[in-house]
Amino acid sequence: MLPAQQPQKPFDAQSSSSIRYHQEGDAPVIDIDNVSYEVVDPEIPGRPRDERLLLRKRIRTREVVGDIGIEATTTVDAWLFGVDPKEKPTYTLTVSGTDPKAVNNDLLVISRGLEEVDWWSVYRLGTGEHLFDTYTPLVQFSISRDTETLRYVGLEVPPDDTPDKRLSAPNVVGVLTYASSQRVIREALITCDDSKLAALLRSFADATRTVSFSDGAIRVSVSQNYPSPPKTMTISIPVVRDDLDITRAKGPVGLHVTAWKR
């Protein structure tokens, strides 16, 4: 049973949303400013068990009609529930992106793909601390059948302008992240001996990636896009004692999985 909560002081908060359609030169432009509130229930990892959070999520978007992609900024302000939102937030997070979502009282996930490539940033819900980025939808599963103990997996595919120069190496395919709600437990670097094949496997235009979990293992699959035949390549990495067992990873000849640390 949760400890009894202290009575909360009443408060009243209002935020306006707006839309503006106008011309800039010859181009029609749509500006939207949306604000919403969410109350997160107790038992947020990293916070006292009885605490709840109030989230204010503000999304500003600008779309030039006819252009590919949009400009978007998301700001999430978080207060301990019961604190007047006129006071300073417990944390504020501002990034380019849309669609901020609280996941399982554990994480805050924001969609960062504003043009042709979908990707997401994952943060600790209790503190706003960045955990990892993923270019495939976030995967979640429990490592225990007796009690739900959730773990999260994502795959980062380095873009051409990646700030980590190590990921610019021609043999790099991607980085797999295995995490709890509080920390990154393990990262694994996927590489390919054939640099031309590696470039294809990490291409956003020519390949599609999926990540899944079943039978105690994480599977990373990469398929070539139409009109090429799929030629799907899959790497399987067992999860053992709440960690990636990289030494038992299995995949096609020429693909390798090694420990990685930022």
pLDDT band at 67 (very low <50, low <70, confident <90, very high): confident
Q: What pLDDT does 68 receive?
A: 82
Residue 125 in tokens: 């819900």
Cis geometry, peptide bond prior to residue 252 (ω within 30 degrees of 0)? no
CB crowding 25-64: b at 16 or more within 10 Å, else e: eeeeeeebbbbeeeebebebbebeeebbbbbbbbbbbebe
Helix (H) or strand (E) holding 77: strand 71-80
* In the block, residue with structure tokens 């819900």: 125
Average pLDDT, the chain: 93
Residue 175 has pLDDT above 60, yes or no: yes
Which pLDDT value is given to residue 3?
A: 44
Q: Is 157 exposed, middle or buried (0-12, 13-18, 19+ CB in 10 A)?
A: buried
Whether 169 has a pLDDT exceeding 70, the answer reads yes
Rounded CA separation 182/12 (Å)? 32
Place of tokens 């610019």: 168
> Per-residue confidence at 254, pLDDT binned at 50, 70, 90?
very high
Asked whether residue 2 carries a pLDDT value surpassing 50, the answer given is no
Q: What is residue 24's predicted lDDT score, i.e. its pLDDT?
A: 87
First-last CA distance in the chain: 39
Give pLDDT, residue 1: 39
pLDDT tens track for 139-157 = 999 998 888 899 999 999 9
**Which carries the bigger pLDDT value, residue 5 or residue 196?**
196
Give me 137's structure tokens: 């939808």
Residue 8 pLDDT class (50, 70, 90 cuts): low
Q: How confident is the model at residue 4 (pLDDT cuts 50, 70, 90)?
A: very low
| DSSP SS3 for 120 | strand
Tell me the C-alpha distance between 75 and 97, whole Å.
9
Say if CB 106 and CB 129 are below 8 A apart: no
Residue, of 174 and 3, whose pLDDT is higher: 174
Q: For 107-117, what is the mean pLDDT?
A: 92
Instruction: Examine the pLDDT at 222 and tell me if it is beyond 60.
Output: yes
